Structure formats: C-alpha cells, structure tokens
Amino acid sequence: MRAGEKLKLTEDPHRRLNILTKEWILVSPHRATRPWQGEVAELRTVPEPEYDPQCYLCPGNARAGGVRNPAYASTFVFENDFAALHPATAPGRSDRIDLENKGLIVAEAEPGICRVICFSPRHDLTLATMSLSDIKPVVHTWMGQFRELSERPDINYVQIFENRGAMMGASNPHPHCQVWATKSVPQEPAKELASQQAYSRLHGRCLLCDYIALEQSAQERLVSENSGFVAMVPFWAVWPFEILLCSCRHFASMNDFTANEADALGEILHTITSIYDRVFSVPFPYSMGFHPAPTDGGSHAEWHFHAHFYPPLLRSATIRKFMVGFEMLGMPQRDITAESAAARLRELRK
C-alpha cells in the first residue's frame, strides 16, 4: 500500500485487535481471498455404533479407572477418573527456592474439581445430530453443574468445554464435555475480565453489547441468530472458521438463563455444529467453551455471557491450521478473513 492510499481490509496485510484479550492478529488476505478455493477433499469416516462395548463412556461399561457406569438414559455426570485438579490440594505458594532465587521461580497450589458430562447414552450422536429435545437436558445439566460449583467458596471459576474429534485431542468419540472448576480465574477469562471492566469504566456500557450491536448492524460477519443468542465470526478471529457466540440479553452466567434462553442455546448450538459439519462434509472438529463471569463473589455487572468455538480445519477435511513459526514467536496470523469465513458459513445454513 502506497502513501495516501486507504487501507483495504480485503486486500492489504493488516493487524486486527482482539477487544476481549487486547492481543493482535496479523491478517494477510492477499494470500487467500476466499475460504473455499483449493481442495475440498472429503474424508471418509466410519459411522459409530449406537453402543460400543469397548467405550468407557457408554452405559454399563467399565471406565478406564475401573468404575462401572450406570445404565444411564439421558445425561450422565461423574468425577473425572484422571482429574487435572483435586479439591483436597493443600494451599500454599512457593516463590523462593533459595535466597538466590529473587522470586524468579514461582509456584502456587491450584485446588479444583474436574467432571465429565456425557450428553447421551448413544455413542453415535453429536450436538449436530442430536435432536433439540435431546440437547435440552444437556443445557440443563450444564446449568445445574454451573450453579452447584459456583456456590462453592473454594471455586472462583467454572469452565465448561467440549473437545470434539481426535484432531482436537478428544480421547473418546462418545458425545461428552468436561467441567473444570478452579480456585483461580484462568488466564483467558482473566484477560477478558480486565478488558470488559476497563470498557465499562471508560464508556459506562458493556463491551460485548456494543460489539453485538455493531455486528448486527453490519451483517458482514454474522452467521446465525435466534431469540436468545447471536453467532458471528469475530473481527479478530484467529482460527479459520472461529465463532463467537453471545447472549442477546446482557447477563453474566448460566445462573441467569430464562427458560427461553436455555432452549435458544440448544437451538443455536445445533445450528452452529450442523453448519460446521457441512463445510467439508465431515464431522467437524473443534474446541468449544463457555465464558461466564468469575464466581468469586463479585457482582461482575460488566461481564457478558459468551462462548468460543475454535475449529482447526482450513481448506479440507485433512488440511488444518497449525500455530507454528511466526505465530508461536510473533503473533497469530490468518489468510482467510473473518468476513469471507462468515460468508462461507452463512451459505451452509439450512
């Protein structure tokens, strides 16, 4: 771009700011202007059975740790047999190994709780293939788990997340997610908390409420919306078909859901995951997680409930985006613009 010329976001290399984390991403649209150019190879997958006798999440089967599942008929919640956190972890902090350490080696105890939630007794279902009536108890199970854990005085954050597909590290194809409840507020929501608080102090308004209104006006990056939620490819998206899912109404957590919003969440999750599966005609891998306000006793009027979808597939069922080289050492980078990715996802709505 020469001096005096106007920046063209569809053509010129530029940086975009993630308003939730205050981090930058490099966008290089001149390298690939349309997300559906190039190979769109279909990956042949073997259908999963309704019941797998070898699956440690199916009803009646023994889990990897030896405990046998009950013959559950809807959702099923259990304490993770190989939990990353333990509630009985002794409190403590070590920031000095010896007198010469100068506080450069710091460790702090992190007690917490890890649970697994099976969405369905059927081994072969996903959020994209489940009926809305089957997704409804999943949403209510999330709500119940969040309410229970958020009331514990030793828990300050409740993170519900799903890793779908082996590409995203899912160890089992049975439809399930995890809940990690932590003593501290994890790094990503802590950055979002600081940004939302700063915006509220400066403008007297909600950051995401203002951003949603902007996106609804522009319509350029919107993917889908219903009575309770709006899904968009955020302006600062890092992953090829990343989605930011926000509640239409301003509230902080699942504790604030109305009955309509609980149903609307199930509907839009089904819509998003179904669209994903049509991008390359395969079960689309992703990591998805809800970001509620911390449960540290604060009112958190600045916080707007939302969720993130981070899918890795780039140009086909077998070509994924990797964070390497400049992205690990400098900043994230993408070729496919958020606008073109959103246009592609909108085309696949039914």
* Residue-wise pLDDT tens digits, 316-328: 888 888 899 999 9
Q: What percent of the chain has pLDDT over 90?
A: 79
Residues 171-226 have pLDDT tens digits of 899 999 999 999 999 999 999 999 999 999 999 999 999 999 999 999 999 999 99
Residues 9-23 have pLDDT tens digits of 888 999 999 999 999
Confidence check: pLDDT of 34 > 60: no
Check residue 111 and report its DSSP letter: -
Residues 73-107 have pLDDT tens digits of 999 999 999 999 999 888 877 655 555 666 777 88
Query: Tell me, what's the pLDDT at 90?
Result: 84
Task: Count the neighbouring beta carbons within 10 Å of the beta carbon of residue 227.
Answer: 12
d(CA 236, CA 34): 17
Q: What percent of the chain has pLDDT over 70?
A: 93
Closest CA to 136 of 288, 259, 313: 259
d(CA 261, CA 248): 9
Q: How confident is the model at residue 274 (pLDDT cuts 50, 70, 90)?
A: very high
Q: How confident is the model at residue 138 (pLDDT cuts 50, 70, 90)?
A: very high
Range 160-177 average pLDDT? 92
Task: Count the neighbouring beta carbons within 10 Å of the beta carbon of residue 79.
Answer: 12
Q: Which two tokens stand for residue 116?
A: 């697994």
First-to-last C-alpha distance (Å) of the chain: 40
Of the listed ranges 24-33, 36-45, 217-226, 246-255, the one predicted with least confidence: 36-45
Beta bridge partners of 24: 17
Task: Count the neighbouring beta carbons within 10 Å of the beta carbon of residue 166.
Answer: 11
Q: How far is CA 333 from CA 26, 29, 49, 222, 341, in A?
A: 4, 10, 39, 21, 15
- Taking the CA of residue 90 as centre, how many other CA atoms within 13 Å lie in the half-sphere pointing to its CB? 3
Closest CA to 313 of 25, 35, 22: 35
Q: How confident is the model at residue 4 (pLDDT cuts 50, 70, 90)?
A: low
Query: Tell me, what's the pLDDT at 146?
Result: 98
Contact between residue 289 and residue 307 where contact means Cβ atoms under 8 Å apart: yes
Q: How confident is the model at residue 44 (pLDDT cuts 50, 70, 90)?
A: low
- Set out the domains of the chain in order of their start, with CATH numbers: 76-182 (3.30.428.10), 186-347 (3.30.428.10)
Alpha carbon 92 to its chain centroid, in Å, reads: 31
- The catalytic site residues sit at 176
- CA angle centred on 291, ends 285 and 293, rounded to 5°: 170
d(CA 258, CA 171): 34
Q: Which two tokens stand for residue 197?
A: 């608080």
d(CA 223, CA 233): 7
Beta-sheet strands, E only, within the chain: 14-18, 23-27, 76-79, 93-94, 107-108, 112-118, 157-164, 176-182, 222-225, 229-232, 243-247, 286-291, 306-310, 333-334
Contact between residue 269 and residue 306 where contact means Cβ atoms under 8 Å apart: no
- CA angle centred on 287, ends 51 and 30, rounded to 5°: 130
